[in-house]
Amino acid sequence: MPAPAHLDPRLLRSFLAVAEELHFTRAAARLYVAQQALSRDIRRLERELGVDLFVRTTRQVTLTDDGERLLPYARRALQAQDELLAAFGQARPLLVDLNSPGLNTGRRVLLRARELAPEHELMARYESGLTYAAGELIAGRLDATFGRFAGLDPALRAGLDHQPVRYEPMAVVLPEDHRLAGLAEVPLAALAGESVYAGAGNPRTPEWTDLAGRLFEGRGIRIAPPMPLAIGEEEFQRIMAKTRHPVLAVRDFPPMPASVVRPLVDPVPLSPVSLVWRRRLSHPALDALRRAAAQVSADEGWLRRPPEGWLPADDEDVMTTG
C-alpha cells in the first residue's frame, strides 16, 4: 500500500498515548477522550499506514515491530507541531507538577506565571516526587516540575534542564503529644535516637531519602523503615498515628490534625529546589514560568543561603552553577 499523503496529528497523538501507556483505558483518560473513540483512531491510523501497530490480548497491549518503528517519528512530528503552534501563539496547555497539594514553592511560581501569561493555560499536576516526575517529563506526559535536581540519577538529568529557585528550610512533623512537640524549634541533636520517616522505599522520592540520609549521618538519627505509601491527608494522618515516627518535611508543610510542624535548627537543613523541565522543550508558557520563578525567588530572597544553613556540597554546586 502506498504511504498516505497526509496524517492527522490527532492520530499520532492517540498512537503515542497508547504506545507509552500500553493500556487503552489509561491512554484514553490521558487524552480526555472515550476509549471507543481512541480505538477508532488507532484502527484508522493502522489502515492509513497499512500496518498493525499493536498486538492486543485480553491481558496486555504491546507494540509490533512497525509500532516500534513509528514511535520515534511520531514523537518528533508532534514535538515539531507543538513548536510551530507555540511560535504562533496557539500552544497547548503547559502541564506543571507541584509535587503535593499544600506545598507553596511551586504553587507560588505557578500563580505568578499565570499572571505574567494570562493568554496561556498552565495546568497543575501532583505527582509526588521528582524522580517519578522526571520520567514523566522525558516521556512528554509532563512539562515542568520542582525538586532537588542533584538527587536525580545522571541518566535522567541528561534529558532535563533546571533553574535554581529556592533553598527551602526543612522541618519535622511530630505527633502533637510527642516529647519534642512543645519546642518552638527542634535542634537536630534532639532527634538523636529517633527513627524519622523520609520516604524510604517510595520509588517516587529516592532523592528525598538520599538527602535525609546525608543529613542524619553521624547524628544518631535513623531513617524509619518503609511504610505503605499514604495518599491524601487522612491516610497520612492515619499512618503517622500508627507508627508515631516524626516525618522530615519543609517548613511550609500544610498543617494537619493531631500533629505539629517544627523548624529544624542547629544547623538549619536546606532542601534545594529547582524548576525542572524537559531539555529542548519549546513553549511560550515555559518562558513565563521561568520568569515567574526568577521573580518570586528574588522577591522572597529564596536563594540567599542562611549562614547557619546545611547543604551537601554537590547540591551547592548544582544550585550555584545552574
Q: Which residue is listed with cell 547540591?
A: 315
> What is the pLDDT at residue 246?
94
pLDDT per residue as tens digits for the range 46-86: 999 999 999 998 889 999 999 999 999 998 888 887 777 76
- How sure is the predictor about 87, in pLDDT bands with cuts at 50, 70 and 90? low
Helices and strands (H, E) in the chain, number of each type: 11, 13
Locate the DSSP E strands across the chain.
Answer: 54-56, 61-63, 94-97, 122-125, 144-147, 160-175, 186-187, 195-196, 222-223, 247-250, 259-265, 268-278, 309-310
Tell me how far the alpha carbon of residue 144 is from its chain's centroid: 7
> What is the pLDDT at residue 1?
47
How far apart are the C-alpha atoms of 45 and 52, rounded to whole Å? Answer: 9
pLDDT per residue as tens digits for the range 262-280: 999 999 999 999 999 998 8
80-112 CB burial, b ≥16 within 10 A, e <16 = eebeebbeeeebbebbbbbbeeebbbbbbbbeb
Domain boundaries, the chain: 9-87, 94-167+271-321, 169-269
How far apart are the C-alpha atoms of 227 and 215, rounded to whole Å? Answer: 21
Residue 262 in grid coordinates: 517544627
Q: What's 117's DSSP letter?
A: -
Answer yes or no: same fold for 94-167+271-321 and 169-269: yes
pLDDT at 134 over 70: yes
Residue 287 in grid coordinates: 518562558
> What is the pLDDT at residue 27?
86
- Residue range 248-255: average pLDDT? 91
Considering the domain 9-87 in this protein, what is its CATH number? Answer: 1.10.10.10
**169-269 has which fold?**
D-Maltodextrin-Binding Protein; domain 2 (3.40.190)
Kindly state the helix (H) or strand (E) to which residue 237 belongs, with its residue range.
helix 233-243
> What is the pLDDT at residue 165?
97
Q: What's 184's DSSP letter?
A: S
Kindly state the helix (H) or strand (E) to which residue 29 belongs, with its residue range.
helix 24-31
Considering the domain 94-167+271-321 in this protein, what is its CATH number? Answer: 3.40.190.10
pLDDT per residue as tens digits for the range 5-52: 678 888 998 999 899 889 998 888 777 677 888 999 999 999 999 999
How far apart are the C-alpha atoms of 65 and 19, rounded to whole Å? Answer: 12
CB atoms within 10 A of CB 153: 12
